Structures are given as structure tokens and as C-alpha cells.
A and B are shown apart, each in its own frame.
Chain A
Amino acid sequence: MFEARGLMVFYENMLALNNVSVACGADQIIGVFGANSAGKSTLMYTLSGIMLDIQKKEEMAGGERITMRGEIIYNGRDMMRLKPSERAKAGIVLCPERRRIFPESTVLENLMIGAYLADSRRTAQTLEYVFTIFAPLKRLSKRLGGFLSGGEQQMLAIGRALMAQPKQLLLDEPLLGLSPVVQYLLVKSIKEIRDQRNTAIIVSEQYARPVMPIIDYGYILENGASVVAGTNRELMDNPDVRSAYFGS
């Protein structure tokens, strides 16, 4: 059980997350939807601990002062003050927005860097799994990450995150800028990952429609606050959500 309660994040005086609570059970897929700047990435960075690093860097450079409040509990353990590397060790792995592939490493090397936390037996086993669900990567394994198409990069980013042996995977806008066909394939793989790897997943997206069928529960963020929450059926039946996110 992964749970965040009452998360508040301030950039100086601007409220980026306003009292957001999110919960994800051990076998669930949770959706977080919202427009640009609604706070999706801030939420993902806060959950994965990257926000602590951003906070430190801003402080060093004399930039924005970032303040965080609230609590993040994972299997009964308080995560709020843990560094991102410690959270990754605990099983919380973020697949960041815009993929952030290592452009000068080959596909295989990207995956091997992802396996930093895994022992050699798990590495071999996960590598085989990644090449099964994302078959194109096997063919491209010698190509540089920077020379992949958007869809291939996204497969690589998710594969790389899998190599870190996540128990709670955070996917930040995995469908951004991809064609509907690729989006459909990725959504299918995300469900497979949950079913076959016993991995809980929180996925954020700007457009709810492609992801909606596979989620167990969803939250809708607006201006940093969670305004609607519910199961996918409830969300799809909600008239406000329908008009804002499904265009009907």
C-alpha cells in the first residue's frame, strides 16, 4: 500500500500542490489526470523524492524556495524525507516525464544502467522480460538512445524503470506526443506489467481517454488540487469529467 496524505508543495509562495492525497493498493493501477501545470509532474517528483533533489539544487543556486508538507507512507514506512535513491531501493521507481533516455548510450546500455539496484540473476531475467513485452527494443539493442523514435524511447524508458525492480512504478505522462496506435500498445503493456510483475502503478496523463479503461481508481487535478476522484466508471459517468476530458 502506497499512500500520500495531504501533500502541499510551494514554489516560493505559489501553491503547486494543494492538500493532495493519493492511495495505491499493491495490485492497482491509479490514474492522475489534469491539464498542463495542474501539478501532475510536481506530484510525481514529490512521490519519487526527486523534488528533494530539485529543492536542494534550487537552494544551492539561490533560486526558488521549495517547501513540502504532508506524508508519504509505503508499507507502513514514512518516505517523506528519504532520498530518491533510497526510495528506489524501497521499490518506488519513477519513469520521468519526457522519458529522459540516456542519449549517448545504446538501448542495451540504458537498460543495464537501469539495473544498478538489481543482482545479476534478476537483471538477466528482467532484461528478457523487457525484450518480450517491448519486442522492438531487442532488434534496436545496439542503437543509441538518442536515435530512437518517440514510441521506442518511451518503451525504453519504461523498460529501464522495470530494470530497477519496482514494486510501485510511477509513470509520468508515458503517452505524451505518441500516435494513437503506439498509445494503445503502451497502455496494453502497462496493464500487462501490473498483471505479470505484481507491480502497482500510478500513471499520470493529460488525456484520460486512452488510459481510462485500465485504471482501478483515478484522481483529477486542477490547479494543484484533487477536485474529483473515483473508479473509472464513476469518473466516466461524471458530467464535468466527461465534458472536460472526453469532449462529449
Chain B
Amino acid sequence: MEIVIYGIINSITLTLMALGFSLVYGVSRLPNFAHGALYVLTGYLAWLLLNRVGLYYPLAIIGALALTGIIGAAMYYFVLVRIRGMPISEIIASYAIGLAILEGLRWGGLKGGTFTLPPFIEGSTQLFGVSVDYQRLIVVAAGLLLIGGLWLFVSKTKLGLALKGIAQDERAALTLGIDSDRMAVVSMALGSVLAGIAALVLFPLGSIVVEAGYQVLIMAVAVCIVGGLGSWNGAILASFLIGFAQILTVSFIATHFQVVVALVAIVVTLISRPSGLFGRQKELEERV
């Protein structure tokens, strides 16, 4: 039972980490390697707003998310727009920005366990005889809400439909009056906010450390590669595969093999099914 419950929690944690990365890649074919940095940055911004500016906790959260969204949009608008269509340069540039943010934070004094966000609700409860703290339940709720909200957004709103269109066929979307640069800015902002939401629900479980940035990036990339780059359903399914695999590894082998699981998953996927579980290569070829 413990494996099931913690497996679900871990899987949804991975989904949260990967959603933003997957969204940006799906819409703009932009591998945002600053994803992990944005994650840590949101946590740090929330901490600043909470402890230095002295804002009320919910306000600090909203403020941090808004700032991260703006930073993500600015990243696209000022840097990434210049190198669109060159995947290697996009990876290098976004990773460089991420590195600058993360190492800048470390240099600025973000280390050790001194920076923490308080959990939304203290305490824990019993679920089928397993003790789970409330914050982890909030993680699950946030994950489910985000998945549902995102689904509603991309299938019911004009902006969401436009994002979906441009993700599937950019040229066709252009003929319908959808502007690809504007959509890329929107997707970067949205992706950054998603990274931020993940950070804000996950950081209260531990402390804000720079290393989390690299780890989140690895997890997001692993989930997206296993699920098929750009596929949202694939990302969710892959989160559950890797999430449960990790929990099983922890209970039957050893805790420190957790990250190895993700890396092995990448290697196995690339060898056996390079386009991922739900990869879009050659699946739905047009009929002439």
C-alpha cells in the first residue's frame, strides 16, 4: 500500500516537474533547458517576497509566479527569438541562461538548508494505514488540478486552441492568423509559471537548493523523452512509469539509485523506441 500511495505521489511530482517543459517543447519546439533554473528561481523569489518583503504567503506565491512568467517571456523575447530553428543553439542558450541563474543564486548565497518555504498546511494524516503529510496531498491535488486546467485551457479557450494548432502544424496555424512568435512568448510564460507552481508546492517538502534545478531538469527531460517529446499524454504516462519505477527501486534496492532510474529510462527509450511512447513520428502520416 505504501508503494502505491508514494508511487502515485512521486509520479504526480514528476508530472508537475515535466509539464512546463513539455508544453513549451510541444508548442514551440523549443527545448527549454532553463526549466530547472526557473523552478529554483520561483522558490527563491517566493522566499524573498515572504521573508524580506514581508508579504502574506498567498500574495508572495502569486507574486513569485507572475515574476517567473515575465522572466520566461523575456527570455524568449530578448534571447531565444534570435536563434529560433537552430535546436543546438536553443539548447546551449537556454542552458546557459539556466546555468547563469542557478550559479548566480549559489554565488549570491543560496546554499545549505537555510532557505525553506513553510508547508501550506502542517501535519499529516493516515491514508489506508500509511501516514502522508498534508503537503504531499496538496502536491497531488495541485498536479491533478493543473492537468485538468491545462486540458480545459487547450481545448476550450481561443488562446489554448491556437497553442494546440501551432504545436501540430506551424505553417497551417500561420495561414489562420495565429502568430508564431507571440504564441512562443505565451508558451514560455506559461511553461515558466508551470515550473513555478511545481516549485511552490514541492519546495515546502524540503529546502530550496540550487541542486534541485539540475535534478528537475533531468527529470523533466527524462519524462519527456520516455513519453515522446511534445506529447502531453505521453508525458503523464511516462511520469507514472518512471515514478513507480523509482519508488520500487527505493523500496527494494537503494535510495540513491533514484536518479539512475530516470537516466536508464532515457537510454532504454532511445534504444528501443527513439520517438518515445507517444512520439509523433510516422504515427499519423497524412493521406494523399
Contacts and interface: CB of A to CB of B under 8 A. Distances in A.
A6 interface: no
A232 interface: no
Nearest to B156: A112
A48 B174 CA distance: 9
Interface string B28-43: 0000000000000000
Contact of B284 (A85, A89, A104): A104
Interface in B66-107: 83-86
Interface string A88-130: 1100011110111111110001001111110000000000000
Contact of A85 (B168, B169, B174, B288): B174
A116 B286 contact: no
A60 B162 contact: no
Nearest to A152: B287
A60 B288 contact: no
Interface string A54-71: 000100110000000000
A88 B177 contact: yes
B208 to A, nearest CB: 37
Contacts of B180: 53
A164 B284 CA distance: 25
A177 interface: yes
A50 B172 CA distance: 9
A160 interface: yes
Contacts of B174: 49-50, 53, 84-85, 88
B155 interface: yes
Contact of A60 (B85, B175, B286): B85
Contact of B162 (A93, A104, A113, A153): A113
Interface residues of B, number: 27
B155 A109 contact: yes
Interface in A123-166: 144, 146-150, 153, 160-161, 163-164
B164 A53 contact: no
Contacts of A96: 171-172, 175
Residue from the set B173, B174, B178, B280 with the largest chain A CB neighbour count within 10 Å: B174
A187 to B, nearest CB: 19
Interface string B150-177: 0000010010011011001101111111
A83 interface: yes
Given A116-B158, A146-B286, A57 B85 contact: yes
A164 B158 CA distance: 13
B139 to A, nearest CB: 29
Residue from the set B155, B171, B176, B178 with the largest chain A CB neighbour count within 10 Å: B176
Contacts of A84: 174-175, 177
A100 B172 contact: yes
Contacts of A105: 164-165, 168
B86 A113 contact: no
A117 B158 CA distance: 9
Contact of B165 (A57, A113, A147, A148): A113
A60 B171 CA distance: 16
Interface of A: 48-50, 53, 57, 60-61, 83-85, 88-89, 93-96, 98-105, 109, 112-117, 144, 146-150, 153, 160-161, 163-164, 176-177
Which 8 residue pairs spanning A and B have beta carbons closest together? A88-B177, A146-B284, A100-B172, A113-B165, A85-B179, A103-B284, A94-B175, A102-B168
16 contacts: A53-B180, A60-B86, A85-B179, A88-B177, A93-B177, A94-B175, A99-B286, A100-B169, A102-B164, A104-B168, A113-B161, A113-B176, A114-B176, A146-B284, A153-B287, A161-B175
